[in-house]
């Protein structure tokens, strides 16, 4: 109701493109982790991840996505916490990690240089994170569909507020794990030594090295990584199907029967799931840092979409 038809289609098209590219990155990273810690070929791990997400999303719809998110979060947070604690004990405490970070000049938390060419400063993190968070929680169909599944507006607000706790925990644990990885490989970069082929393999490589004598630890790490992917990709594929149907197919053919619309939605889910898998295969051929690509994709599309959401007048209530 807020947007002109063409503006709505343009923004929806941007979101479809952004979500598709991001889902490909999100599919590739845990598949790479599984490839690193198991004898499975990378192509098989990508296929297994994509097919699993596509099947249960198309069969269960939004209910499957939400329940899978809940269960996966219960695995992700303990898995990340266990990995951090065991790695910290191996390194000899957080003071050893802090010393390594200081020696390497990696602590950029307090850098206040306003130069926009510097990638990590206080300002780039504050404004970049704020815009990306606004886009995710307010504009992204993958998130908004969760809020719309609540029975009342009050419950939706409670869901939004309560989501900050697990999101904050996972981001903090991810940062701490990154610091321990740097401390563990200080002065001995496995990428330069050709022990791994991609920088994104360093974390699972460390898991294999440190926890090779602890039964189940590598499996717990892979489970945590896969839970994050299944949660992101399933909600993303469901969002892609919803946007394509509502903003394009439903607009062009408004009199589609409910039964036919259900089958079209399921077909769209399979289509986007397959397309994401193909893109993940293509990403596996790239030599650059995949996580950096994912963040660049988010930043590229988040800014314009947030600007349109802020600037467009609410004509329905005017």
What number is the average pLDDT over the span 285-295? 72
- Tell me how far apart the alpha carbons of residues 233 and 239 are, in angstroms, rounded to a whole number: 10
pLDDT in tens, 163-189: 888 888 888 888 899 899 999 998 888
Find out whether 270 and 58 touch, Cβ atoms under 8 Å: yes
Per the model's pLDDT, the better-predicted residue between 108 and 84 turns out to be: 84
Question: How many domains does the structure of the chain reveal?
Answer: 1
What is the tens place of the pLDDT at every residue in 219-256?
777 777 777 777 778 888 889 999 999 889 988 888 88
Task: Examine residue 318 and state whether it is found in any structural domain, yes or no.
Answer: no
pLDDT at 170: 84
Q: Residue 316 falls within a domain, yes or no?
A: no
| Of the candidates 237, 217, 232, the residue with the CA atom closest to the CA atom of residue 30 | 232
pLDDT value of residue 33: 76
Question: What is the arithmetic mean of pLDDT over 8-12?
Answer: 90
Check: CB of residue 143 under 8 Å from CB of residue 132: no
Quickly state the pLDDT bin for 317 (edges 50, 70, 90). Answer: very low
26 has a pLDDT exceeding 90: no
Q: How far is it, in rounded angstroms, from Cα 312 to Cα 133?
A: 19
Contacts of 182-190 with C-beta under 8 Å, sequence gap 24+, read 182/97, 182/100, 182/101, 182/104, 182/106, 183/91, 183/96, 183/97, 183/100, 183/101, 184/87, 184/90, 184/91, 184/210, 186/100, 186/103, 186/104
**How sure is the predictor about 112, in pLDDT bands with cuts at 50, 70 and 90?**
confident
Q: What is the pTM of this model?
A: 0.80
CB 232 within 8 A of CB 27: no
Q: How confident is the model at residue 318 (pLDDT cuts 50, 70, 90)?
A: very low
Does 192 score more than 60 pLDDT? yes
pLDDT digits (tens, 9 = 90+) for 29-66: 778 877 877 788 888 888 888 888 888 777 777 777 78
62 domain residue, yes or no: yes
pLDDT of residue 312: 64
The overall average pLDDT reported for the chain is 83
Share of the chain above pLDDT 90, in %: 11
What is the pLDDT at residue 183? 93
- 40's CB contacts (< 8 A; 6+ apart) are 34, 48
CB-CB contact of 42 with 284 (8 Å): yes
In a domain, 176, yes or no: yes
pLDDT of residue 185: 92
Rg of the chain over all Cα atoms, to the nearest angstrom: 21
Q: Domain residues for 234?
A: 5-311
Which CATH number belongs to the domain containing residue 185 in this structure? 1.20.1730.10
| Other C-beta atoms lying within 10 Å of the C-beta of residue 123 | 15
317 lies in some domain: no
CB 135 within 8 A of CB 300: no
- Chain centroid to Cα 243, Å, comes to 19
pLDDT at 154: 95
Handedness of CA 135, 141, 143, 146 (dihedral sign): positive
């Amino acid at each position: 109701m807020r947007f002109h038809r063409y503006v709505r289609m343009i923004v929806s098209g941007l979101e479809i493109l952004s979500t598709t590219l991001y889902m490909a990155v999100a599919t590739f990273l845990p598949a790479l982790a599984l490839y690193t810690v198991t004898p499975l070929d990378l192509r098989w791990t990508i296929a297994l991840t994509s097919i699993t997400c596509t099947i249960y999303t198309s069969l269960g719809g939004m209910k499957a996505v939400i329940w899978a998110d809940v269960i996966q979060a219960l695995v992700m947070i303990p898995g990340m916490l266990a990995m951090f604690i065991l790695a910290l004990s191996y390194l000899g405490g957080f003071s050893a990690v802090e010393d390594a970070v200081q020696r390497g000049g990696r602590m950029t938390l307090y850098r206040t240089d306003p130069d926009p060419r510097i990638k990590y400063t206080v300002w780039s993190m504050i404004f970049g994170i704020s815009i990306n968070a606004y886009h995710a929680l307010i504009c992204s169909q993958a998130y908004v569909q969760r809020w719309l599944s609540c029975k009342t507006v009050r419950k939706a607000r409670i869901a939004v507020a309560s989501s900050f706790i697990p999101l904050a925990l996972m981001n903090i644990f991810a940062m701490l794990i990154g610091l321990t990885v740097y401390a563990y490989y200080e002065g001995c970069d496995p990428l330069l030594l050709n022990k791994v082929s991609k920088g994104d393999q360093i974390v699972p490589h460390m898991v294999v090295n440190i926890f090779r004598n602890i039964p189940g630890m590598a499996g717990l790490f892979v489970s945590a990584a896969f839970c994050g992917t299944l949660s992101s990709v399933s909600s993303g594929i469901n969002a892609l199907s919803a946007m394509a149907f509502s903003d394009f197919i439903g607009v062009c053919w408004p009199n589609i029967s409910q039964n036919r619309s259900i089958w079209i939605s399921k077909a769209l889910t399979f289509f986007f799931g397959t397309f994401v898998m193909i893109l993940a295969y293509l990403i596996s051929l790239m030599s650059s840092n995949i996580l950096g690509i994912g963040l660049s994709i988010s930043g590229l599309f988040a800014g314009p979409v947030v600007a349109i959401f802020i600037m467009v007048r609410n004509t329905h209530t005017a």
